Structures are given as structure tokens and as C-alpha cells.
Amino acid sequence: MLGSGLTLPLDLHAIAARCTNAYYAPKRFAAVQLAFHNQRSRVLIFHTGRLVGTGCAGPMQARLAILKAVRQLAVEANVHLHIRKFSVINQVGAVSIDAKLDCDAFASTHSATSHYDRASFVGLAWRPGGESICCEIYSTGKANLPGSTRQRDLLTSFSRMVSELLRHSNRAEVCERIPERLRLCHRPQAVTRDDAPVAPHSKSKAAPPRQRAAVGDLFAADADWALGPLGPVSVDGLEQADGDDLLELSVF
């Protein structure tokens, strides 16, 4: 705020009194909220000088909303701010798989990475390892995808997760249209007592050939799955598999 004669912290009461579209309730939230109708968004102004744009449809709309707030502060409140750094904190995607999801069966299959409690939240929260997003999905098939900072990460992560969601829905046959490398990314593998890996020990006897072959296949499968969530998997295969009929995705 060089040249404006102001110092931190900002006087939020004076800003809220001078700005026309401002809302400030310090007992509820410690920031002044500036609401804009075109494009529809909201900018939060904190006493530290930090501006946060929410409700935007993308990074460019968030930049525009923050610039509008900076101009309004300079004209109406005589507070001149300079934007030094802009970064995306969180992107939320809205998606529909166009199918009814069996949340109980999904939570039972993915008990280690999902949470489903009807008493606290009507939806199911699934956060598989290696993904940048969390899937908050309802039994109707509609879901929210928060947690990413780039749209590319959101699309690639969801392309690896959608097959498991469809597999526990009333349209499980749609999974056959998705490429196999995407279907097996988060497919759980049941390990029996005979196929469980055995740690080598100097005094123990060598495992029989049949058991050693099973252990080798298990490790090979785990290695292939590990490359799925972490590797640069594109969404071309999902788009070629008649993706318009499977889901509708938008980022806001």
C-alpha cells in the first residue's frame, strides 16, 4: 500500500461502511465480503490485506473479481492495494455419473479410503491414495470434487476414480467402455492366506514354487497399480469411451 498512507491492519469497519456491496459481521466471519453479480462471485477482504475470491467459475474469473474489488476499494474507500501474488487455493468440480450409487456397498469395498455415516453426512466421502481430489458423492450419482489446484489434475484424477463409482452403481455395465488401465487403478485386490507375502527368514524353509509364483504375481500387480495414480495418465481414453453419455463435469 505504498503511496496510500495506510498501514496494516486494515480498518474493516471503515471499508464496510464506505463500500456499497459490502457485508461485514465480525462475530460470524472476520472478513468483509464484497458481492458481485456480473460475473457472480464474492471477494473476502481480511485485515492482513489478503483478498480471496470465492464462487468463481475459473482462475481468470477469480482474477477479474479481485481486480474489481481492488478498484472499488480505491474509489470508494480510498484504500489502494497492489496485487503481488495470485494463486489458486482450491478448485471444486461438480459431476454426475448418471446412475444410482450403492453407498453401503462402496463403503464396504473401500473401507480404508472412504467414509460413510448417514447420521453426520448423507453423502459418501472417498479419498484414494495418490489422488489430488476428494470425491463427495451422493446416492443420486451427483458428486463434488474438491481439493485440486489445477483443472488438469482434477480431470485426470477423476478419470481413474469413475470406474469404481460406476461399478457400485445400477449401471455397472458401463465400466466395460473404460480402458482397462483406468479400471484397475483403484480396484481392490482380495489377498488370501495362501497368497499373502511371506517375509524371508534365514531359519525358515523356502516357500513352495506355487506359493512363490502367487507372491510374484501379487507384487507385479501392485507395481502396475502404483504407476496408475502417480503416472501421467491422460483422459483421452475416457473421452473416446463415449464420455458424454457417462458424466457431465464442470469446474467452479
Give the pLDDT means over successive 10-residue stretches in the chain (252 positions).
Answer: 71 94 94 92 94 92 94 93 91 93 94 91 92 94 94 93 94 91 85 49 48 43 39 42 41 43
> Is residue 42 domain-shared with residue 144, that is, in the same domain?
no
For residue 39, cis peptide bond before it (omega within 30 degrees of 0):
yes
Query: Residue 180 corresponds to which cell in the numbers above?
Result: 482397462
* Residue 123 domain flag: yes
> Is residue 35 domain-shared with residue 120, that is, in the same domain?
no
> Is residue 155 domain-shared with residue 101, that is, in the same domain?
yes
pLDDT recorded at residue 246: 39
> Is residue 148 domain-shared with residue 240, that is, in the same domain?
yes
> Is residue 156 domain-shared with residue 31, that is, in the same domain?
no
- Supply the CATH number for residue 164's domain: 3.30.310.10
> Is residue 128 domain-shared with residue 171, that is, in the same domain?
yes
* Residue 86 domain flag: no
* Residue 5 domain flag: no
The boundaries of the domain holding residue 72 are 12-76
Of 76, 99, 132, the residue at which a domain comes to its end is: 76
* Residue 202 domain flag: no
> Is residue 113 domain-shared with residue 65, that is, in the same domain?
no
Query: Residue 84 corresponds to which cell in the numbers above?
Result: 503481488
pLDDT recorded at residue 242: 43
Of 76, 108, 132, the residue at which a domain comes to its end is: 76
Number of Cβ within a 10 Å radius of residue 25: 11
> Is residue 106 domain-shared with residue 138, that is, in the same domain?
yes
* Residue 176 domain flag: yes
pLDDT recorded at residue 234: 42
* Residue 224 domain flag: no
> Is residue 137 domain-shared with residue 245, that is, in the same domain?
yes
* Residue 171 domain flag: yes
> Is residue 244 domain-shared with residue 141, that is, in the same domain?
yes
Residue in 89, 91, 74 with CA at minimum distance from that of residue 34: 74
Of 28, 53, 76, the residue at which a domain comes to its end is: 76
54: three-class secondary structure by DSSP: strand
pLDDT recorded at residue 236: 47
pLDDT recorded at residue 2: 55
pLDDT recorded at residue 197: 52
- Long-range CB contact pairs, 61-66, < 8 A, 24+: 62/88, 64/39, 65/36, 65/39, 65/41
> Is residue 64 domain-shared with residue 104, that is, in the same domain?
no
For the chain, what is the domain count?
2
Q: With contact defined as beta carbons under 8 Å apart, do 110 and 188 qualify?
A: yes
Q: With contact defined as beta carbons under 8 Å apart, do 29 and 42 qualify?
A: no
* Residue 164 domain flag: yes
What distance in Å separates the CA atoms of residue 117 and residue 125, rounded to the nearest whole number?
A: 9
Model pTM? 0.66
225-246 exposure pattern, b = at least 16 Cβ within 10 A, e = fewer: beebbeeebebebbeebebeeb
> Is residue 240 domain-shared with residue 117, that is, in the same domain?
yes
